[in-house]
Chains A and B, each alone.
Chain A
Amino acid sequence: MVKTIRTFETMLFLVVALMSSQLVFAQGTIMGSLIDPNGANITGLNQNVTLVNTMTGEEYTGQTTLDGDYRITGLPAGTYDLSFLFRTAMYQSYSEEGVVIRDGETLEHDLNIEWSINLGTIGDDPGMLANDMLRNSGDVSGPAPRLFNGNIDFSGMWAIRQTPDVPIQRPPYQPWAAQMNEELLALDIQNPGAYCLPQSAVMTTAGFPMQITQTPDIMIQIMEFVTPGWRQIFLDGRDFPELWNPSWQGHSRGHWEGDTLVVETSGFNEYTPGFGIHSDQMVVTERYTRPERGTMRVEITVEDPEALTDTYTNIREFGLVLGEEILEFICAEGNTDPAQWEQPVWKGRP
């Protein structure tokens, strides 16, 4: 009996040892660099390369280093979909199917990232600028600050934080608006920002560095690279004015729901950009929260009963920037292309 037990124990030990050794060998590694079309490593990013096992659906991630390299270990052998999501004017996101990881092997796999719309022009990417500002800000930990009256204080300089895995919601157009949008896109005309006009009806969607200064009665937003570059949000309970010219940025009024600042903006003209085809009845509601000192989150809901079949909501996440300031940007000083004066005035419609 004892001999049988010992034999069984030995066999059990051998089986466990064999299985363990199989587990050790049945893992692989992938490593490489992010390479841009110039052949250079894309430096300064701390974003994830993601692999999804096509059989199990398991996800594995590895953060890129500041030198532009990545490495993911402990990958079970198999086939993977690989993605690197990064939304900027400089670089397109990258995705690839059928990446094969083998037992005990290291796959050296560089990711060749393509240019996005700015074709690699030096000094022309607000997305990379935001990323670099946030990376250089240092320690932004701690609770969200409050004003003397207890309101969350959103004051500070903010830059867009990358959330490329958050899908962008498109406007649910009514048929006439959908068709008009197609016609407008087909014309392939420049964003009004190209003519030094506002880039977006609501500044928080424009994507440039922004300074917020807030008192109990008013919030002032100042944004670089855009016209007019300022926006006021009234927090004193006033109503929409009786006399109002429909305008590019509308009229903004905010109230508090706990620690959420709810800002409603109306009074837009029908051609202000940033929200596609819309009527002058469009109302944009932003919900600002600051869960911690270093983060501001804005949910932006659009309603327009004339142009849309439903409301839709997008989210912007901002990180706190320290050690920087908004610089002057006079768009018209060098905007000398005669074509801009020959084109019809931007009217947001075909």
Chain B
Amino acid sequence: MNIKKLLGIALTSVLLFGISFEASSHHSFIGQYDPEKSTVLVGTVKGIRWLNPHAFFVIEVTNEDGTTEDWSFELGSPNTLIRYGWSRDTLKVGDVISADGYLARSGEKLANAKIVTLADGTVFQAASSYEQENQ
């Protein structure tokens, strides 16, 4: 087995088992997230859960005091995301991205993802479906 394949397996393990993803359910967002409380965070991608009914990613955010915390962001279905140019390989562990969303009502470090800016400057957001298709 070559190095590339070994690394691939190792990374997959990290993605699936090394990160604590928030439990997820297929639900209405307005019930779980507060439209009055938004956040914009910049962080390093630690993991992606590319599963139906909702994909998630986790970023490690460094606070001003130097401490770090993990934040989860919830997306829609990979079935829809892929039609707008976002695949399971779009986010890579180690990428520095920014994510903008509404905070979970529960107080967990969790938000829905309404704007995501990738490491290469690509912006994903709801309104730009037409632009994403045509990029």
A141 at the interface (CB under 8 A from B): no
B122 at the interface (CB under 8 A from A): no
B residues whose Cβ falls under 8 Å from a Cβ of A: 23-31, 33, 35, 49, 51-55, 74-84, 86, 100-102, 112-116, 124-131, 133
A68 to B131, alpha carbons, bound, how many Å?
A: 11
Structural contact, B127 and A38, CB atoms closer than 8 A: yes
Report the minimum CB–CB distance from A188 to chain B (whole Å).
7
A120 to B129, alpha carbons, bound, how many Å?
A: 12
New contact pairs (12) apart from A41-B127, A123-B84, A194-B28, CB-CB < 8 Å? A38-B100, A120-B125, A121-B126, A122-B125, A123-B78, A123-B86, A124-B76, A125-B76, A125-B126, A128-B129, A135-B130, A334-B24
> How many cross-chain pairs have Cβ atoms below 8 Å apart between A and B?
149
**Nearest residue in A to B133 (C-beta to C-beta)?**
A132
Structural contact, B125 and A121, CB atoms closer than 8 A: no
Q: Which of A18-73 contact B (CB under 8 A)?
A: 36, 38, 40-44, 66-68
Chain A residues with Cβ below 8 Å from B80 are 123-126, 129
Q: Which of A268-285 contact B (CB under 8 A)?
A: none
Structural contact, A339 and B35, CB atoms closer than 8 A: no
Given contacts A119-B30, A194-B25, contact A36 B52 (CB under 8 A): no
Can you list 12 A-B contacts (CB < 8 A)?
Answer: A38-B114, A40-B126, A118-B29, A118-B30, A118-B112, A119-B114, A120-B112, A123-B75, A124-B76, A327-B82, A330-B52, A339-B25
**Nearest residue in A to B113 (C-beta to C-beta)?**
A122
Partner of A124, one of B25, B35, B75, B82: B75
Size bracket, chain A contacts:
35 or more
Hey, what's the 0/1 contact readout for A330-348 against B, CB within 8 Å counting as 1?
Answer: 1101111111100000000
A75 at the interface (CB under 8 A from B): no
Given contacts A43-B130, A224-B79, A329-B79, contact A121 B74 (CB under 8 A): yes
Q: Which of A108-158 contact B (CB under 8 A)?
A: 115, 117-126, 128-129, 132, 135-136
Chain B residues with Cβ below 8 Å from A196 are 26, 53
A4 at the interface (CB under 8 A from B): no
Structural contact, A90 and B24, CB atoms closer than 8 A: no
Across the A-B interface, give the 7 residue pairs with the lowest CB-CB distance, nearest first. Answer: A124-B76, A334-B51, A123-B76, A44-B130, A337-B25, A120-B114, A43-B130
